[in-house]
């Protein structure tokens, strides 16, 4: 059996929330016992609505969340550089070792490039800085850095790389900024790329181009990709396996085709039913109710107050993940019947 490149075990990230308007504060369990694996060459999707904990999961893997306010409450993030032992627990590495790993072996494409790129530094210099930091032995010359950065800008589909090299972020379009972010993430040829909603701020045409580019680059560099999105259409087109998150927990995990053809969790069914379709008339279906207050979560299953198939046991105890089919796990009391 193939060994996972990245294995996340019972990840827990909490935030201590101060009170407001005289009300008490509390602990927001933004990520609460999340476990999954990413295999070499695989695209693993993490999907869910806004606020479910997707981005916190992504940032916490490389300890990019400020602590405080974030509390790394527990879990392991096991990274196997060649998909085999020796392995590293990223949460146990010291700061210097993490810096050496970030950008070189594991890269992150942020959700909004305009806020992630330095507004007063030219694009070429920002990408070249990654090469300077992670050069193994002999530091590359400015000419060598420029040559490699221009080649990468061309590789990600920027038609005038010399012009983009000398441009500031605000001088590029949203699509070009995202391509520059991808170039920065891939310049050191990492083994794993974490893409945190890489197409959210882009129009549909550019979105399709960026997704196609990521697929091409994944094949070319044999990358593993952890793709975080709220768009199930993107997951259907690009991912091999997918985990569905709700209120900081994974409620269903399956191969993509299996999930779309045989969704088992009522929340997954609700997400799929709310997608507009040309072959379906009438009003769009919506998941009833509201997301619960993360400081005052309901007893039992967190989705129970909104679930159309709720049972008495759902209000008493949270269900453990259960394997309903090979590679298909779901946390729902309906599967215990």
pLDDT digits (tens, 9 = 90+) for 50-72: 889 999 999 999 999 988 889 99
Question: Are the C-beta atoms of 134 and 220 separated by less than 8 Å?
Answer: no
Decide the pairing of beta strands 224-229 and 26-38. unpaired
- Average pLDDT for residues 321-329, to the nearest whole number? 93
Give the separation between CA 329 and CA 327, rounded to whole angstroms: 6
Question: Looking at residues 1-13, what average pLDDT do you find?
Answer: 90
pLDDT > 60? residue 141 = yes
Please provide the average confidence, as pLDDT, over all residues in the chain: 88
Structural tokens at position 327 = 């590679």
pLDDT at 302 over 80: yes
**Cα–Cα distance, 63 to 70 (Å, whole number):** 10
Query: pLDDT grade, residue 38 (50/70/90)?
Result: very high
Determine the distance from the C-alpha atom of residue 123 to the mean position of all C-alpha atoms in its chain, rounded to a whole number: 24
pLDDT value for 314: 94
Is the distance from CB of 108 to CB of 186 less than 8 angstroms?
no
Q: Is 294 strand, coil or helix?
A: coil
Choose between 1 and 18: higher pLDDT: 18
Cis status, amide bond into 218, omega within 30 of 0: no
Predicted confidence at residue 5, as pLDDT, reads 93
Q: What is the pLDDT of residue 21?
A: 58
Residues 87-138 have pLDDT tens digits of 889 999 988 889 888 888 999 988 777 778 899 999 999 999 998 888 766 7
Q: Is the pLDDT of residue 335 over 90?
A: no
Q: Number of C-alpha atoms within 13 angstroms, CB side, residue 76?
A: 10
What is the predicted pLDDT for the residue at 22?
55
The reported pLDDT for the residue numbered 199 is: 80
Q: Where residue 217 falls among pLDDT bands split at 50, 70, 90?
A: confident
Q: How many CA atoms lie within 13 A of 132 on its CB side?
A: 11
Asked if residue 319 lies in contact with residue 250, where contact means CB atoms within 8 angstroms, the answer is no
State how far the alpha carbon of 133 is from the alpha carbons of 41, 138, 206, in Å: 26, 11, 31
Q: Is the pLDDT of residue 202 over 80?
A: no
Q: Give 24's pLDDT tier (boundaries 50, 70, 90).
A: low
pLDDT at 64: 92
Indicate the Cα dihedral angle 182, 185, 190, 195, nearest 10°.
-70
* Band (337; pLDDT cuts 50, 70, 90): low
> Which residues have C-beta within 8 Å of that of residue 75, sequence separation ≥ 6?
8, 9, 10, 11, 12, 33, 34, 91
Confidence at residue 257, expressed as pLDDT on a 0 to 100 scale = 94
Question: What is the per-residue DSSP string for 220-239?
Answer: HHT-EEEEEES-HHHHHHH-
């Amino acid at each position: 059996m193939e060994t996972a490149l990245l294995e996340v075990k019972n990840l827990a990230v909490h935030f201590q929330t101060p009170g407001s308007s005289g009300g008490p504060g509390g602990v927001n369990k933004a990520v609460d016992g999340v476990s999954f694996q990413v295999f070499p060459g695989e695209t693993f999707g993490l999907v869910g609505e806004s606020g479910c904990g997707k981005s916190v999961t992504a940032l916490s893997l490389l300890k990019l969340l400020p602590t405080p306010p974030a509390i790394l409450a527990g879990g392991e993030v096991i990274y196997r550089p060649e998909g085999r032992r020796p392995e590293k627990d990223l949460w146990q590495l010291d700061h210097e070792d993490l810096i050496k790993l970030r950008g070189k072996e594991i890269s992150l494409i942020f959700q909004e490039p305009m806020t992630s790129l330095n507004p007063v530094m030219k694009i070429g210099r920002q990408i070249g800085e990654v090469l300077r930091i992670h050069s193994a032995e002999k530091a590359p010359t400015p000419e060598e850095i420029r040559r490699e950065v221009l080649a990468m800008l061309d590789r990600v589909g920027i038609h005038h790389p010399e012009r983009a090299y000398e441009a500031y972020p605000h001088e590029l379009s949203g699509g070009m900024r995202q391509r520059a972010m991808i170039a920065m993430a891939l310049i050191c040829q990492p083994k794993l790329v974490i893409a945190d909603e890489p197409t959210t701020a882009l129009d549909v045409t550019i979105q399709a181009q960026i997704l196609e580019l990521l697929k091409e680059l994944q094949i070319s560099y044999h990358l593993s990709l952890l793709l975080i999105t709220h768009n199930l259409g993107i997951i259907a087109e690009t991912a091999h396996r997918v985990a569905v998150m709700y209120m900081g927990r994974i409620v269903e995990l399956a191969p993509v085709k299996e999930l779309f053809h045989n969704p088992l969790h009522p929340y997954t069914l609700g997400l799929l039913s709310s997608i507009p379709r040309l072959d379906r008339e009438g009003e769009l279906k919506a998941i009833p109710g509201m997301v619960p207050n993360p400081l005052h979560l309901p007893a039992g299953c967190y989705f129970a107050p909104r679930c159309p198939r709720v049972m008495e046991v759902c209000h008493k105890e949270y269900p453990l993940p259960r394997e309903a089919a090979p590679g298909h796990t779901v946390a729902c009391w309906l599967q215990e019947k």
